[in-house]
Amino acid sequence: MSTIVKKVSQLMAGLIFMYGIYIILHGHLTPGGGFAGGAILAGAFILLILAFGSSALKLKKEVSGSSNTESLAILVVVVLALMALLLGSKIFFFNYLPKGEAGALLSAGVIPLYNIFIGIEVAGAILTIFLALVIFKEESSK
Amino acid sequence: MELSISIILGFMIIGAIYALHAKDLLSAVIAMGIVGYGLVICFLLLKAPDLAIVQIVVETITLVIMVAVVLDSTREELEVPFDRRSLLNRIAGFIIFAGLFYFFLLAIQSLDPLGMHTMRMADPYVHGAVEHTGSVNLVTGVLFDFRAYDTLGEAVILYTAALGVLTLLRMKGKK
């Protein structure tokens, strides 16, 4: 891609990444949440990859990293849900942390934690699918 | 509001029909974009900003991937010869469409008007979400507390989709 596209995407990618983190962290206060924020995070990475391009070897490292990240994130979600059983409740997905004051950033118990890890999982999954397609194209055109 | 939603739905139908009949596959992909972004405006008008954010991001990413696929393969549509078998397929498709449309008309008469639906199950969710979950955003409260199994299932579906793409698109098998 041309220098203009590279520079502009370099400037925008950070802003898009910050916006995704904001959407995830405020998921229990404003519209959005894990799914929307995760898709936005993946969009920032995809913008950079589209603008700069990369060799298949480098991308393979990235795809193994993103697929490991999403596997770990979904494991953490299940463990967080199972923690309620350890703490004496018999309900899967029990909200065991103190709920705090409604409307504050640190409130709603475990819901922000679920939001964060679901967001990481969604970002990893979308990025993995995109990278797998790009690697397939680069390897088959050789 | 019903009028504006009807106009946008009309545009979406025109875009979908054009996408089916376009000679150039790139313009077909762009016409599919009309359907997706029209759905975003519909979600916003129906007061569902959560869905609108997800839809606009996912639509953009899929549009980028589809444009890349079209540019990389071919822009011309495959010509399918018209013979007895395709005629049979069209007749069967029309019969199924007519049957489904008849039942759709029957079902729509027993529905409540737009926005006036009876909320037997949703009422305690909507009015008790803030005190039960502590989350001010009702959608997140329902997604991660009352219906957390649903969310776990969705996340697992996405995870399995990524695994499936990784497995199918491997060039060389592992020894």
Q: Would you place residue B98 in the very low, low, confident or very high pLDDT band (cuts 50, 70, 90)?
A: very high
pLDDT mean across residues, chain B: 84
Put simply, the answer to whether A103 touches B136 (Cβ < 8 Å) is: yes
Q: How far is B22 from chain A (nearest CA, A)?
A: 26
Percent of chain A scoring above 70 in pLDDT: 97
Put simply, the answer to whether A133 touches B144 (Cβ < 8 Å) is: no
pLDDT of residue B10: 93
Q: pTM for this structure? A: 0.80
- Joined tokens for residue B135: 């989350």
Sign of the torsion formed by the C-alpha atoms of B30, B36, B42 and B47: negative
pLDDT of residue A142: 66
pLDDT digits (tens, 9 = 90+) for B120-151: 777 777 777 777 777 788 888 788 877 888 88
pLDDT of residue B172: 65
The predicted model gives B77-83 an average pLDDT of 76
**Which residues of chain B neighbour A35 with C-beta distances below 8 Å?**
54, 154
pLDDT of residue B102: 94
The predicted model gives B87-97 an average pLDDT of 93
Distance separating alpha carbons of residues B33 and B70, to the nearest angstrom: 14
Give the number of A-B residue pairs with CB atoms closer than 8 Å: 143
Contacts of A62 (CB under 8 A, 6+ apart): A54, A127, A131
Residue, of B122 and A48, whose pLDDT is higher: A48
pLDDT of residue A64: 81
The predicted model gives A36-56 an average pLDDT of 84
Put simply, the answer to whether A114 touches B162 (Cβ < 8 Å) is: no
Residue, of A63 and B91, whose pLDDT is higher: B91
The residues on B that touch A, with CB distances below 8 Å, are 49-50, 53-54, 57-58, 60-61, 64-65, 68, 72, 130-131, 133-137, 139-141, 143-145, 148-149, 151-152, 154-156, 158-159, 161-163, 165-166, 169, 171
pLDDT of residue B149: 84
pLDDT of residue A82: 82
Residue, of A91 and B89, whose pLDDT is higher: B89
Q: Would you place residue B12 in the very low, low, confident or very high pLDDT band (cuts 50, 70, 90)?
A: very high
pLDDT of residue B86: 84
The predicted model gives B68-94 an average pLDDT of 83
**Which residues of chain A neighbour B149 with C-beta distances below 8 Å?**
92-93
The predicted model gives A50-64 an average pLDDT of 77
Q: Would you place residue A56 in the very low, low, confident or very high pLDDT band (cuts 50, 70, 90)?
A: low
Q: How far is B174 from chain A (nearest CA, A)?
A: 15
| In the predicted structure, residue B173 carries a pLDDT above the cut 60 | no
Q: What single string gives the DSSP state of each residue in B63-131?
A: HHHHHHHHHHS-SBPPP----HHHHHHHHHHHHHHHHHHHHHHHHHHTSPPTT----TTHHHHHHHHHH
Residue in chain A lying closest to B134 (CA): A108
Q: What are the residue ranges spanned by the domains of chain A?
A: 3-140
